[in-house]
Amino acid sequence: MRILHLDAGREMRGGQWQVLRLIEGLAAAGVESTLLARENAPLFAAVRKGGWRVEPLGLTRTLMLIRRHDLIHAHDARTHTLGAFVRKIPLVVSRRVTFPVGSRWKYGRARRYLAVSDFVKSVLIAGGVPPEKIAVVYDGVPVLESCPGKSVIAVANAGDPRKGAPLAVEAARLAGVTRRPRRPARCWRPSRTPGSWECQR
């Protein structure tokens, strides 16, 4: 099985981390992946650093590479549109957002949808996607060793009120944790060894 992944994200947000972890997991299972992403995007650099195949995103490159792959996996709205126009191999779409379905034509083109939650699945169904074409697949995270230090860092929510920042603030208050935002923050990043992670200090 050879999968052509498409992602047009400019930043390394939750969806891009899931693409990176998926490619890593597929490689460990012996599944070949190629990612098409923006050349200046952090995901492009992270996949290349991990030792996996990555090339610049574009229609011409997509048309050229589909002949060597069995499946297209679109990871965001822009590449979903791109994949909808390229119908030579089956299209799978990961759906992580709760926005209403726009184009019924576009949403009728995919073979399968991977919804991040039951609520996202319900949005797809309300938009006309048959339930049998939708599977709920929750996002996963690697189990990491604890990062040394005294601070607890909460991941930024990119300003999206639906990301649950108020809930995190309330949880910190109930746990008696003092919040002191500081920069630079420590975070986990891919290490030089493919498939492993390190604490950025």
Q: What is the pLDDT of residues 139-197, one digit of tens each?
A: 887 776 766 665 555 555 556 666 677 777 788 788 777 666 555 444 555 555 555 55
**Dihedral of alpha carbons 166, 8, 67, 26, sign:** negative
pLDDT value at residue 185 = 44
pLDDT value at residue 180 = 63
Residue 188, H or E segment? strand 187-190
**Dihedral of alpha carbons 26, 30, 32, 37, sign:** positive
What would the pLDDT profile of 70-81 be if each residue is shown by its tens digit?
Answer: 999 999 999 999
Residue 123, H or E segment? helix 118-126
Cis peptide before 131 (omega within 30 of 0): no
- Give the residue-averaged pLDDT of 33-49: 96
Smallest Cα–Cα separation from 142: which of 1, 11, 4, 28?
A: 28
The answer to whether 34 touches 55, Cβ cutoff 8 Å, is: yes
Whether the predicted pLDDT of 32 surpasses 50? yes
What would the pLDDT profile of 90-134 be if each residue is shown by its tens digit?
Answer: 999 999 999 899 888 999 999 999 999 999 999 999 999 999 999
pLDDT value at residue 199 = 52
Whether the predicted pLDDT of 2 surpasses 90? yes
The answer to whether 23 touches 5, Cβ cutoff 8 Å, is: yes
CA 34 – CA 73 distance, rounded (Å):
10
Domain 2-136: give its CATH code.
3.40.50.2000
Rounded to 5 degrees, φ, ψ at 196 are -125, 165
CA 137 – CA 96 distance, rounded (Å):
10
Q: Which residues, other chains included, contact 102 with Cβ-Cβ below 8 Å and sequence gap of 6+?
A: 127
State the CB neighbour count (10 A cutoff) for residue 151.
9
Amino acid at 197: W
Q: Where are the domains of the chain?
A: 2-136, 161-200
